[in-house]
Amino acid sequence: MLIETKLRPPHLRAGLIARPRLIRQLDGALSARLAVVSAPPGFGKSTLLGQWIAALKGRDAAVGWLALDGDDNEIGRFLTYLVAAIQRADPAIARQVPVMMQSSPLLPVDFVLTSIVNDLAQRSGPLFLVLDDCQFLEAPEICRFLDALLTYAPACLHLVVATRGPLPFGLANMRVKGQLINLDDMQLRFSLDETESLLNEAQAMDLPMADLVTLQHRTEGWVAGLQLASLSLEQRAARADFIRHFSGSQREIAEFLAGDVLDRQPPEIFAFLVESAILDRLSAPLADAVLGRRDSATLLRAIEAANLFLIPLDAERHWFRYHHLFADFLRSRLAATRDPAAIAALHARAADWLSANGFTSEAVAHALAAGEADRAAALVEDCAMPLIMASHLNTVRAWLARLPRDLIARRPKLQLAEVWIQFHMSRPQEGARTLRAAKRNIRAAIAQGSLAGAEAEAMLAELRTLTAGVISAADRSRSAQAFIRQWQDQVPESQPFFKGTIGNILGFCSLSLGDLDGARLASLRARDTHAAAQSVFGVVYSDLILGLAEKAAGNLQGAAELFARATQQARAELGAGSYAEAMVAIFEVELLYEWNDLGAAERLLHQHRQVIEECGLVVHEMACKLHLARLAAARGRHDEAMAVLERAERLGIEKRYHRLTAAALNERVRLLLKRGDVGAARYALLARGIDPEARRPETRRPGADLSPSTEPEYLALARLQIAEARPQAAQRLLDQVAEKMRADGRLRRLAQVRALSAIAAYRAGDALSALAAAVDAVAICAPQRAMRTLIDEGSAMREVIDFARGRMPSWSGDTPAGSYIEELGQFCERAERAPAPRGGRRADPDFSQRETEVLRLLSAGHSNRDMARALGMAPDTVKWHLKNIFGKLGVANRTQAVLRLQQIGLGGEAARG
């Protein structure tokens, strides 16, 4: 008697993620003899085939299904079920076979094959036969039968097999004939879109994009890993923390991998997997050296054939790595089953082999893991600069963090490597201190004669390069520019990386001072030098500055092309997800946002956000935070946007990076005024020392000149003046700013200024000036399809556009300007229909009951500890409520919050409760 469920495709539960890309690939089986779906456990092979079968049946296709198990590795049982599966697709095929198999004293294998082939030859339409879990088939007679079936069956038969391991028949001949379709684990992995559909749509988890990206990276799109993670997430409150630490040692993942994978392996495979897991990548010679074996090549072939989460890294299959979660799981098993001294010995042997074979960078990690600090320090000195030139800053940072501080303090090469990290991590003050210490060590070494010649020359060039970088990172562009010009020509030609880096720093300084031509010239020269030095990082950074110059000039298409060139080179040379790629991508987000492609902007931002926040210059972190706030506001999440901007302002003050503080202030004032909170906007300016009654925003800094870093303050002040019914004052202020931008050729920001000028003039009743400013703004934005510059100014901008449209014949009809205005109007209308942010001109912020209790104690002057004790909360919970309260009030600290409450008339009420 047959088990009927073995002959049915899997039940497709509701909420499965559609995979049209893979379904289309499987549809290629219509023109192929064999389709193979091969992947480790948990990659959704059976589910995918079930979805495809359902689609085929919807087209009236003939489909047979057989789910195999260990008992089917016997020729008689296998043929019985195979014939039954074929007859489910077409009852006319092999009708006499069951009787013959029951009555014949010997198994009639040839009769079965002949009957199936001859009956198939009578069919006019295709027949699909799916064999699921083919890894159970090992018997030689079954292999011979399937080989013969594929050889002699007519073209109407399409065999589809799913397997975790090697197939029981050869594929080489079919590949040559083009009769094979193969889907492996690389194609079966969930994309980020599919991960989002699974977790946020099908399972309604409502995870932010940053968490989705982290899970996607940790699981590498492994479907079972994502599903197991989601089961754990359902039971946890601190989801972000769980996701951040998600690994193969998590209980659910570990149980799955132990029960379904590792415990089924022979002892020698088990031992090899566990001990080789210390290696981030492995080859047969390396594994032999580390594990003391001679058969690693054979074992690796067996592991790969068994689909045990082993991923080849090259076409020749010399190098491999384990899936991230599988590697985590194996390492946890290693720690649980081996003595620490034995594990350290494995790492020491790995360091020996890698160092001897020229893989210095990988040897460092193993020397550190083996506890050999001096050896690790020497290795870091040898490979830190090549890694920095390739943008692998996080790797160098991790190594330095594990070395003893006194050891670094004695080695100036390590100190300079640390400055590179501090420079790129927006820590210029720390960088300056480390530079001074390194300078003392270098001078002492030169005086003692232990450092001389070309080595001394190179270290001095590196020292000066980093000095320029640290000055620039501290937002002192003019000082950095002067320092570079003083000795730029003295950089030896033998040090092209330092020469190119100096050029890039000079290009960035020129850009930040509004000198676009100077930025282009310096960056083009730097790019040539970096190309000679074969520094991918340097070339990418040169292209980034060139792109930023085009963006500032209003040439968004040109910027996009330069960014794309930089990204392509970073991926080609460094692989996907590098720091070099991230620092370009964070500015590509701005272009996508400007073109109103919010979904693509959010995805790209969250894909690279973590890298930038961990290791990025202030300018990159500044862009990241501003994009987060703008996207949140565009999606209607105004409280979130305000909180991000408040953090950005604090960061700008902490890092002494004035352009970040000013840019965040301008965005915060815009959002406060959008929700009608004029008082909070005025207070935000006052809190930054800007007097709204003054004619210039530099009241706090007498004699300061208008510059790109202070311009956002002018815009914020003009916004407030418009909101306070002083549009003529705003006009005068904005005209002053526009004149400087126009002279510099910085049209992107000029478009924003002219949009505000148009609103101010329209509110002042100055129709001619409003029309001129609106025409200016549209003339800059329309050719580049720039949308958000005008959309973000809200209904006031739409009023001006409608006013100007009736007076500008070129803005109607099928003209380029007309189509742009039409599209802009549609976007503006949709944005206005979106839920408006809470608040009005005098509306009180909406506080929860718990926030009201915190406010009462805050107004009465209680400390965080007092509040926690009085309300029975943890101190961190009090901090969380205060952060939300500050965001709603639009303030940065406790004092400002109390003043703001008094200003809106809630101070006494809050204190009284």
Q: Specify which residues 128 forms β-bridges with.
A: 63, 158
DSSP 282: B
Burial class (CB in 10 A: 0-12, 13-18, 19+), 862: middle
Q: Characterize 803-842 residue by residue with b for buried, 16 or more Cβ atoms within 10 angstroms of its Cβ, and e for exposed.
A: bbbeebeebeeeeebbebbeebeeebeebeeeeebebeee
* CA nearest to 715, candidates 677, 662, 660: 662
Helix (H, G, I), strand (E, B) or coil at 750: helix
Torsion angles phi and psi, residue 689, rounded to 5? 80, 20
Radius of gyration of the chain from its Cα atoms, rounded to whole angstroms:
33
Pairing of strands 127-132, 157-163: parallel
pLDDT above 90 for 41: no
Tens digits of residue pLDDT in 333-392: 898 888 999 999 999 999 999 989 988 878 888 998 898 888 889 998 888 888 888 878
pLDDT above 80: residue 565: yes
404 sits in which H/E element: none
Q: Is 700's pLDDT higher than 50?
A: no
Homologous superfamily assigned to 476-569: Tetratricopeptide repeat domain (1.25.40.10)
CB 688 within 8 A of CB 661: yes
Q: How far is CA 180 from the centre of its chain?
A: 35
The answer to whether the beta carbons of residues 857 and 866 sit under 8 Å apart is: yes
- Choose among 748, 718, 741: nearest CA to 593: 748
pLDDT of residue 272: 93
Beta bridge partners of 159: 34, 129
CA angle 420, 392, 411 (to 5 degrees): 45
C-alpha to C-alpha distance for 761 and 748, rounded to whole angstroms: 20
> Fold match between 247-338 and 849-912?
yes
The DSSP element (H or E) to which 814 belongs, if any, is none
- Percent of the chain at pLDDT > 90 equals 32
Q: Residues 826-881: pLDDT tens digits?
A: 887 776 665 555 443 334 566 766 777 788 787 777 777 778 777 776 666 677 67
CATH assignment of 849-912?
A: 1.10.10.10
Helices (H), ranges, 575-690: 579-594, 598-614, 618-634, 638-655, 658-674, 678-687
Give the pLDDT mean for 661-684.
91
Instruction: State the pLDDT at residue 911.
Output: 41
CB 62 within 8 A of CB 128: yes
Residue with tokens 């002959």: 7
Convert 111-164 into a string of H (helix), E (strand) and C (coil).
HHHHHHHHHHHCCCCCEEEEEECHHHCCCHHHHHHHHHHHHHCCCCEEEEEEEC
Question: pLDDT tens for residues 386-414?
Answer: 888 887 887 888 888 888 888 999 999 99
Residue-wise pLDDT for 768-819, tens only, equals 999 999 999 999 999 999 999 999 998 899 899 988 888 888 887 778 888 8
Give the count of alpha carbons within 13 A of 678, CB side only: 12
Phi, psi dihedral angles at 160 (to 5 degrees): -125, 125
Whether the per-residue pLDDT at 687 is higher than 70: the answer is: yes
Q: Which two tokens stand for residue 52?
A: 């495809």
pLDDT at 60: 81
The tens digit of pLDDT for each residue in 349-361 reads: 999 999 899 888 7
How far is 685 from 679, CA to CA, in rounded Å?
10
Helices and strands per DSSP (H, E), number in the chain: 48, 7
Amino acid type, 306: A
**224-233, 642-651, 682-691: the lowest-pLDDT one:** 224-233
CATH no. of 4-188: 3.40.50.300
Q: Residue 296 has which token pair?
A: 């690693």
Q: Is the pLDDT of residue 669 over 90?
A: yes
Could you say which of 1.20.81, 2.60.40, 1.10.8, 1.10.10 is the CATH number of the domain covering 247-338? 1.10.10
DSSP for 371-382, please give it. Answer: T-HHHHHHHHHH
pLDDT band at residue 252 under the 50/70/90 scheme: low
So where are the chain's domains? 4-188, 192-246, 247-338, 476-569, 730-834, 849-912
Residues contacting 431, CB < 8 A, separation 6+: 419, 422, 423, 466, 469, 470, 473
Helix or strand (DSSP H, E) at 319: none
For residue range 477-504, list pLDDT tens digits in order: 899 999 998 888 888 888 899 999 999 9
Token pair, residue 2, equals 């047959």
Confidence tier at 590 by pLDDT (50, 70, 90): very high
